[in-house]
Structure 1
Amino acid sequence: MEDLRELSTEEKLKIVTNFLLNSPPGEINDVFNDVRVLMANDPAFQTGILDALREYNTEQYITVKLPGQENEVIVSKFGQIEDDLYLDPRSHQAFRFDHMHQTATEVEPHPPDESTELLRNAVDAAITDYVTDHFQNGVSSVYSTENGTLTITIVDNKYNSPNFWNGRWRSTWLVNPESGELKGNVKVNVHYYEDGNVQLDSNKDIVVSTSTTTENLSAAVAAYVRLIGKAENEYQTALNESYIELSENTFKSLRRSLPLTRQKVDWDKILNYKIGQELANK
């Protein structure tokens, strides 16, 4: 294996970036501190690694509290205004996000898109209620996006490091009010690492639609939330059932519960036989 010391800075950054982008939920800081050793305090590390952190934070829907606010805000590409300036569509504020330290600063007013704000605000209120009802630590944001569409982002994190597991739920829904179509994507990542290293990485695309138009705003919003809730519930149910099947049938088929004799092994006897054989050999 090639000595890491012989790799160029670019090669090291490529390896480090791959590690960071695949960091399990809630463990990005641990991975970051480990890969710093690989870079051996190379000055290029600080600048070169920033792009990887930016990609990770926005893709993973990292949340942050704005100064003076209690509610958390999702950091995502849908709210990116420029460089590291992001939008909180609920409070109509822009903020600067430090991807290295995951903090928000320089909060300033940012006027909404008046052409879609009425619908966006109604969907945001309904999605907030949905997330409160269905996610223990859920956070959501609803953005006005291209061509009059809305993008709904939902994230819920559960970190349980004392018991060696962490998990994250992410869902994204593109709503086309004109056609009534909703295109969704749900991602679930769970890391279990007690005496091992096992990860669940699940990803599903979903398309649903409603005939209800925005002429009846409240009915349209209710239809969006109902479709999202139904689709996400079906996905979670299917995920649960697949792992019950995996535990009860698939894993059991990989090995015999009993040896060919159909008798349980008496390990104490085997140990005595071994000791007796060793004594005989002496």
Structure 2
Amino acid sequence: MASTIELVSSFIEGAPPGEPPYLTIDVQALTSDGDDILPSLAPAFARYNEGQLATVKLPGSSQEVIVSEFNRLEDNRYFDTESQTSFEMDHTTQTASNAQSSPLESQNADLIKSLLKSLAVHAKEHYPNCSYGVYPIENDSAVAILLVANRYSPNNFWNGRFRAIYQVPVSDSSSSVTGKIHVDVHYYEDGNVAMNTTKPVNLSINSVTAESIISRIATAERDYQEELNRAFVQMAEGAFKGLRRQLPITRQKVEWEKVGGYRLGQDISGGKGR
């Protein structure tokens, strides 16, 4: 039988966008350990934050930066290439502290800076509330390009998140962009409905330049958005429409001045009263 820590960890790692803070409160209330259980859950919170590209504000700044496996250092520290800052992360509370200067040290520094500039333009145009980052990976032989956009509306009982993770080898003049696009939405008014989609991406590029890479990424994200839109329309006109009860068709005009006296299912359908 799974232990309490294993069970609660699975809940944390499967939490919908924007809801771990509420989950922490629930865990403390539902388990007999209360606050004492939280230190044991730190690894689960770390896996969730890195996998979901959690964002945190740097101390003394309004800028939100990404937490991921690609910009992880040691001892719960992470770095941000754009601000050239490293920081300590409290995964349970999702807060950053102890920020320090962290100059970008990479043989691909010029490419990373160019990618950040082009990515900022792309993000501002298409994602009003988002964070992004570009990081050297695989012993500086490739770069990771991350973008996450969150939209939370708890008053309307829904939250959503868009994540895009790309990797680009930089050792060859002609290469490709590989990665995945994730869209997660949770709607929970009088129910519990979730949509979790993943789109693998494999794009060829003619040259390893910021303009070429971001242009191909922008096209892939636009195409996927259009694909989702078509799927929603088909679902509304197909599966969802089939679930709705159809009203009777009488082929008769409604006498609106008498609508207050209609008896639903009898007069409207042309039936006679008993």
TM-score where L is the length of structure 1: 0.84
Q: Any unmatched runs of 5+ in structure 2? A: 252-262, 268-272
Q: Does 1:186 align with 2:217?
A: no
CA contact (8 A) 1:184 1:206 kept: yes
**Residue aligning to 1:217:** none
Tell whether the 8 Å contact from 2:21 to 2:93 is kept in structure 1 after alignment: no
Q: Report deviation, 1:250.
A: 2.1
CA distance in 1, matches of 2:243, 2:106: 59
| 3-state secondary structure, aligned to 2:53 | coil
Question: Which residue number in structure 2 is paired with residue 3 of structure 1?
Answer: none
Q: CA deviation at 1:210?
A: 1.1
2-side partners of 1:43 and 1:71: how far apart?
30
For structure 1, the residue ranges without an aligned partner over 5 or more in a row are 1-6, 215-219, 271-275, 278-282
1:240 aligns with 2:229: yes
Match of 1:68, SS state, is coil
| Equivalent position amino acid for 1:185 in 2 | K
More helix by share: 1
C-alpha deviation, 1:248, in angstroms: 1.0
Quote the Cα distance in structure 1 between the aligned partners of 2:197 and 2:232: 12
Offset at residue 256 of structure 1 (A): 5.6
User: Is 1:176 aligned to residue 165 of structure 2?
Assistant: no
Report the counterpart of residue 105 of structure 1 in structure 2: 97
Counterpart of 1:257 in structure 2: which amino acid?
Q
Give the 5 Å matches for 1:14-163.
Answer: 14-41=6-33, 45-147=37-139, 148-163=141-156
Deviation of 1:34 (Å) = 1.2
C-alpha deviation, 1:267, in angstroms = 4.4
Encode CA deviations 1:97-124: one digit per residue, 9 max, x unaligned. Answer: 1112211111112232231111111111
Counterpart AA for 1:198: V
Q: Structure 1 residue 269: deviation in Å? A: 5.1
Structure-1 separation of matches of 2:97 and 2:184: 29
Q: Does 1:196 align with 2:188?
A: no
Contact map agreement 1:12 1:38 (CA 8 A) in 2? no
Question: Counterparts of 2:39 and 2:25 in 1: how far apart (Å)?
Answer: 15
Superposition RMSD in Å? 2.4
Instruction: Judge conservation of contact 2:57–2:64 (CA < 8 Å) in 1.
Output: yes
Q: Distance in 2 between matches of 1:43 and 1:69?
A: 30
Match of 2:228, SS state, is helix
TM-score (norm 2): 0.86
C-alpha separation between the residues in 1 aligned to 2:150 and 2:168?
A: 24
Superposed CA deviations along residues 119-138 of structure 1, whole A, max 9, x for unmatched, are 11111111011101110101
User: For residues 101 and 188 of structure 1, what CA distance do their matches in structure 2 show?
Assistant: 24
Between the two proteins, the alignment pairs up a number of residues equal to 256
**Identity percentage of aligned residues:** 34
* Aligned residue type for 1:252: K
